[in-house]
Amino acid sequence: MFLNTNSHWENTDPFNCQGVILGKEQHRYLLLKTLRQAQEKIIIVCPWLTRHSLDNNMIQEFKNTLNRQVKIEIGWGWQKDIGNIIIPGNGWWELTPANTWKYNAMFKLQELKRLYPEYFQLKLMGTHSKYWVCDDKFVVVTSANILCSQPGKTNKYYEETGLWTNNINQIKNFINSFTQVPNLATKKAI
């Protein structure tokens, strides 16, 4: 078993396990463990990308993962911000204002894209979804804005809830869903 985040695990079928993830602390712990143990590819989808979550420690974990030649693809951008805060066009985007809090980690992420062009990708999706996929091993579907927030001083278990599963059909569904969503940055400028 890859991990055990709480005492509610049912291990009757090792190829169809699932478990509940409670609180921001468990979500962050699982994301860090994902970055440290992934072998091929991680897909992370979160509408907002802030320095609150993507602090220096998390950016270093991304670098460590990329240095192992594990691909990281991030789907980002809230649909209501596209055309207002995020101006897409011709394969790139512009943020107005450039320092908006919702996307203030973008400078650091663009630096990762420059340093690891073969392994790090950003995909402007126009989404409110929050999930991540590790290789073909598991998927986490969650209410937590994992790339926007992190545990606070009082980690209330009921603040965020997620579901972890290694069901291969669900993993494939999330990978296919991510792959099929167009990159909105490839559209012509508005």
pLDDT score recorded for residue 6: 40
In this structure, what token pair is assigned to residue 62?
Answer: 């991304």
pLDDT score recorded for residue 153: 56
> Within a domain: residue 13?
no
All residues at 6 or more sequence positions from 151 whose CB lies less than 8 Å from its CB, including other chains: 23, 24, 25, 28
What is the signed CA dihedral for 135, 157, 103, 82, rounded to 10 degrees?
Answer: 80
The candidate with the shortest Cα–Cα distance to 80, out of 41, 126, 113, is 126
> Within a domain: residue 62?
yes
pLDDT score recorded for residue 92: 81
d(Cα 52, Cα 56) in Å, to the nearest integer? 10
Q: Say which CATH number the domain at 66 has.
A: 3.30.870.10
Collapse the DSSP code of 21 into the 3-class scheme (helix H, G, I; strand E, B; otherwise coil) and give the result.
strand
> Within a domain: residue 12?
no
In this structure, what token pair is assigned to residue 108?
Answer: 């650091």
> Within a domain: residue 101?
yes
Domain region containing 41: 18-186
Look at strands 86-89 and 92-95 and give their pairing.
antiparallel
In this structure, what token pair is assigned to residue 72?
Answer: 């990281």
The residue to which tokens 């985040």 are assigned: 5
pLDDT score recorded for residue 8: 43
Task: Tell how far CA 32 is from the center of its chain.
Answer: 11
Our count of domains for the chain comes to: 1
d(Cα 162, Cα 33) in Å, to the nearest integer? 15
> Within a domain: residue 9?
no
pLDDT score recorded for residue 138: 95
Q: Where do runs of H (alpha helix) occur along 38-81?
A: 56-67
pLDDT per residue, tens digit, the chain (190 aa), is: 234 444 444 445 556 788 888 888 889 999 999 999 999 999 999 999 999 999 999 999 999 999 999 999 999 999 999 989 998 877 788 888 877 899 999 999 999 999 999 999 999 999 999 999 999 999 999 998 989 876 655 556 567 889 999 999 999 999 999 999 999 988 654 4
Residue 177 pairs in a beta bridge with: none
d(Cα 91, Cα 76) in Å, to the nearest integer? 15
> Within a domain: residue 23?
yes
Contact 18, 166 (CB under 8 A): yes
